[in-house]
Structure 1
Amino acid sequence: MPITPFQVALWIELLAAGLGGLQGALFAAGARSRRIDVLGVIAIGLAVSLGGSLLRDLVLNQPPVVVWSNWYLIVAAASAILGMVLQPVFARADWLITVLDAVVMGLFGAIGASKALSLGVGVAGALVVGVIGAIGGGMLRDVMLGQPFSFLHVSTLYAVAAGAGTGALALLAKLGTPIPIAGVVCVAVATLVRLAAVHFDWTFPEQFAIPLKPKGD
């Protein structure tokens, strides 16, 4: 039995989609060296905007909401075009992309985790689904740009920030906190952890091999 009805309002999902399209287009338009054309910028904006929701619904075995509802594609495409147009204005504000990335990650994490909980998924599973929703758009962006997944490399705790936010939501929901309140906490935690990691350059140590002592020594 579902724990609670899915409580995320449509406008919140569209806000996340719009911010995702804007952030993705700003990122793509700024990658001048890759010579991405107008269609490519819009496509990357759509990937960032809709990728997390698409992967989330596939994992949950649900009809992809971004396909069944026209509004997601319309909002995401319009936001991507806006991001492409505004990119020269924000060319010197690299921090804007980082802030948008953090907020979008928190929003999609909150939406993903709360939807998983509404379907009866356990706390641990909801955390995983939330992280997938949070970083899914960035993963598709990296695939389209032919670059390594950002969350797999030494970086500023990208996936950790998503996990911290969605973990907070899942725990608060388990304790009986209303989903809207838990969702706000999720977005705040994910955003603050991500921005703090960028500001203070927090990272996990890079992998290293443990030298083995040769035989006979």
Structure 2
Amino acid sequence: MLVMPFDVALWIELFAAGLGGLQGALFAAGERHRRIDVLGVIVIGLAVSLGGSLLRDIVLNQPPVVIWMNWYLLVAGGSAVLGMLLQPVFARAGWLLATLDAVVMGLFGAIAASKALSLGVGAAGALVVGVIGAIGGGILRDVILNLPVSFLQVGSLYAVAAGAGAGTLIVLTGFGTPIPIAGLICLLVTTAIRLPAVRFGWTFPEQRALKSRRTTGP
């Protein structure tokens, strides 16, 4: 079992929280047909920013760091307000939301997987935790907005990108790669899969019910 120190600087976690709050608020503020108020936009920004970290720590049976440390809430809340104010400027920049989404997934996936490894979680479990950390905020966003949960629908390789990034980090650290380098490569792998998938519409095939053949008598 691979056990290693949790070597992620606080500023990286806060940077990820800030980008998550920004992306979540930009997404929510763009949903004008839902008539989401100011508080609602901030709540969704907080959910995207902190949801993955919260679910990660619950799964790992750790005190939720986003609750116990004030900086997370302050950075996430401030970024959500900023995202709400900037949304009219970036209203037509769909590429920005997609890019922020991919980067946030990569960052949170790397942080979650490395934290799991530092606690002695095996490779398979660390992969699951990495995916949960990467997509947890998006799941909470979809639940709050009553949208189809992204990773359960036919979509642009949402969980696949998260899993590929986290899996890459786990393999690299197994060969002794320092966490900062492995985390950066995790981010690049996640983004390199997610963005082309969004751009070109790459998806898994949709499941189809098996059609029973009609039997005809002689």
TM-score, normalising length: structure 1: 0.97
**Which stretch of structure 1 is more off in the superposition, 72-81 or 170-179?**
170-179
SS of the equivalent of 2:15 reads: helix
Equivalent in the alignment of 2:68:
68
Separation (CA, whole Å) in 1 of partners of 2:28 and 2:53: 20
Separation (CA, whole Å) in 2 of partners of 1:59 and 1:214: 48
Q: Does 1:129 align with 2:129?
A: yes
Deviation, structure 1 residue 214: 4.0
Separation (CA, whole Å) in 2 of partners of 1:212 and 1:92: 47
Q: Does 1:36 align with 2:36?
A: yes
Separation (CA, whole Å) in 1 of partners of 2:77 and 2:200: 34
Query: What is the one-letter code of the residue matched to 2:102?
Result: A
Deviation, structure 1 residue 215: 5.0
Is contact 1:102-1:195 (8 Å) kept?
yes
Equivalent in the alignment of 2:143:
143
Is contact 1:2-1:119 (8 Å) kept?
no
Equivalent in the alignment of 1:15:
15
Alignment of structure 1 residues 132-171 onto 2, 5 Å = 132-171=132-171
SS of the equivalent of 1:202 reads: coil
Stretches of structure 1 lacking an aligned partner (at least 5 in a row): none
Equivalent in the alignment of 2:202:
202
Query: What is the one-letter code of the residue matched to 1:192?
Result: A
Query: What is the one-letter code of the residue matched to 1:163?
Result: G
Separation (CA, whole Å) in 2 of partners of 1:67 and 1:85: 25
Separation (CA, whole Å) in 2 of partners of 1:140 and 1:60: 18
Separation (CA, whole Å) in 1 of partners of 2:25 and 2:153: 23
Is contact 2:2-2:122 (8 Å) kept?
no
Query: What is the one-letter code of the residue matched to 1:156?
Result: S
Stretches of structure 2 lacking an aligned partner (at least 5 in a row): none
Equivalent in the alignment of 1:24:
24
Separation (CA, whole Å) in 1 of partners of 2:163 and 2:211: 32
Separation (CA, whole Å) in 2 of partners of 1:215 and 1:8: 63
Equivalent in the alignment of 1:184:
184
Separation (CA, whole Å) in 1 of partners of 2:199 and 2:144: 28
The aligned length equals 217
Query: What is the one-letter code of the residue matched to 1:26?
Result: L
**Residue-by-residue CA offset, 1:115-161 (whole Å, 9 max, x unaligned):** 00000011111110000000000000001101110111111001100
Cα RMSD (Å): 1.1
Query: What is the one-letter code of the residue matched to 1:21?
Result: G
SS of the equivalent of 1:137 reads: helix
Separation (CA, whole Å) in 2 of partners of 1:145 and 1:213: 41
Q: Does 1:175 align with 2:157?
A: no
Separation (CA, whole Å) in 1 of partners of 2:85 and 2:31: 14
TM-score, normalising length: structure 2: 0.97
